[in-house]
Structure 1
Amino acid sequence: MKLTLKNIYLITLCTSLFLGFMSCELEDTVEEEKAPSEPEVILNTENSIMSFLVVLNDVEYKAEIDTLNNSILLILPFGTDLTSILPNVIVPENATISPNPSSVQNYEEGVIFTITAEDGSTKEYEVTIIAPSDENNIIDLTIENELSQSIRGFIDEESKSILFEVPNTLDLSAVKVSFTVPDMAISEPESDSVIDLSSTTTFSITAENGDVLEYTVSAYTENLLTNPNGDNNGSGWTFSPNTGVETNSEYGNIFYVTANDGDFSPHINQTINFPRDYSDKYVLFIGNLTTEKVIEDSITRHSYLWANQIGDFSPDDWIYMQGMIHSVGANEWEVVSGAHKLLPNVTGTYFKIAQGLRNGDPYDGTTCKFRDLEVRLFESAEDAAIYVSQIYNQ
């Protein structure tokens, strides 16, 4: 085909137009690809309770948060009014909590809170607030004797000790014990249990809040002296010359020992047999003593208690129990006592009351006096000390 100049011109023009069009379209595409896209919006999915606390009297109490079970437990002091609680609750950013904690005040029962995250997802928490009792004391405790009669124990809260005066004939290996503890407290052993009281035992009381308190429980004997008041002219006692029993209008019967010049330690005595094995336990001697005269810085004319142990002992084991002497002024009554550890295989004690004498200070007819005499057996020296300070003559 013969190309004319006109045809060549038309072809060239069309080609230029086509290439120009394609170039513009390519530029538009490149420009569209280079234009910045709109940022993707990511919403917070966190819907947990991060912190739950209550401030009482400037003290913060933080709750335990169980993320596995979606539960919250807050323990407040005993006596807190659970109907008026304003907690501080922290949730994630942009999350909401319903109901509003500031509008919920009564936590006597569990409260359900719903946390809604920014993305709309929700999670529920059950909040429990308690103010458990911290009381874990023994209020009252009794045991039964062989006649099923109640014997009430003496409770010393300072030392957390409970002491029972028991009949010498009571079988302590199986004693029924009954006691009272605060509401919601748990005891070990339980009330109305049968326990072995032949040695010190321990009671454990757990309060509602988990606090544990332990009491030691022990028995001690009745007064082992025969006729401790000296009735019937002192039946059961042995008297030296110039000793005896007189009657006082204020105190009743009183033992007396008068020591004259030349006398050899006049005294009154009694032998006591123990009702059961008390090896390695403690014997307490106690009485109220006075004297008519004293010598300064001397034991002479002071009244005293003295004893020794009886049993299958070698001479090297012989134990004198002394040091129990009146130490105040003339005509002043003083409680004098001594607790002494007993040897193995002990079976009894020889007990006497007498007037002191130091070499060089002769007797002169002074009279010493004794009343409220007791001999008792205890599990420990500490138990005996409680008896002396809080039970004797009360």
Structure 2
Amino acid sequence: MKSLLPAFKVYSIIILLILSSLVLSNCTEVPLSNENKILSITLTRGNFTKSFDIVENSIVGTVDSSIDLDGLSLNVPISKGATISPDPSKINSITGDFSFTVTAENGDVKIYTVSIKRLLSTENSLLELTINSNGLTFKPQINSQNNTINQRIPSFINLTSLDVSLRYSNRATISPDPTSIKDYSTPVKYTVTSESGDKKEYLVTLTPMLDSFSESCLTNMNANKWFGGDNRTNTPDILPNDRNVGTGQAVKFNTDVNPQVFTVLMNSGFKFFSTQNNYNQNVQLKLNIRDANGKIIASTNTTVLGTFNGGAITFNIGNLNLFFKQDTTYIFQWYLIDGIPLGINTGSLGNSNPGTGFCFSGGYSAEASQRKGTSLEDTSVWYSHSWNFNIEISGKK
């Protein structure tokens, strides 16, 4: 039997050679990468995203004038195994040119210069002018065709001492400083300059309301609405001295006005309905002026003399310093003060026919009840009435 030793030795030698080869191969060094490139660069701010071209070692680009270069983020992928400084994730604003240094695995360095700028705005518009005076606010229209602002102002406002604020294009400047201008008794010229240097001039002209106007609806009377208290004892649904009825009328002007006198029309003097005896004493009527939402914007009273026998009742509203805007609805509502305990009434005259124009802007009525605890000061008791009531308004425009 032959010995197995020589064969074993041969196999052992082969295995040792293989192992030696493997060890030697593992000891061979893999060269380090020399790649040190910025592969792309993307800027994000809110919903805005933009990528920029890389030309050799430069990154140059712009963003629109509306995009601020703060509160941003940069996405800058680089070659595998390389490092970059500064860390792009730490950059959230760009205030000027800067550079990135990209270092390859083998230490090779490449420097990229970055120049990303915001375009200068060319906007140079006056967007809004606001006048605050005597508790009133005016926002006149700006004529963008000829860059003018014209507004008529109630004569009770002093044009030599106005609080005016202006809003203009973002990044633009304005001259003179609006806060330094108080006197608008003569036209004032403003210059708005864009960030890019483009200029635009605006002329502001404010004129006092001095022309008289009058809107009369005192004709065409064919309706008579109960107005005031009620002392009847023989009406099933109405308790004596329990209700007070008021009337109202909406108005809308085709130009800005400063109303000074408001007139309503009644068919007779105040009397007790049950006896038809005249009251023959002075009474007070209350006038509330509301906006289209029912909010009271002004109020006043007027005295009706005991000798009043029907006709016009006038409210002096000039001292209320009112300004009514063009094409805006205002609601006048009037009623007898203490109508419930007095129990006297008259008739508010009106027109029951349909029509168009100022005199047909919409009538109102309301009823307050003592037992229900309601008041004619409460807008919820007022409702639209099918009649339009006879009124007259005069003043300045």
* Structure-1-length-normalised TM-score: 0.35
* Structure-2-length-normalised TM-score: 0.34
Greater relative contact order structure (CA < 8 Å, 6+ sep)? 2
Compare CA radii of gyration and give the structure with the larger one. Answer: 1
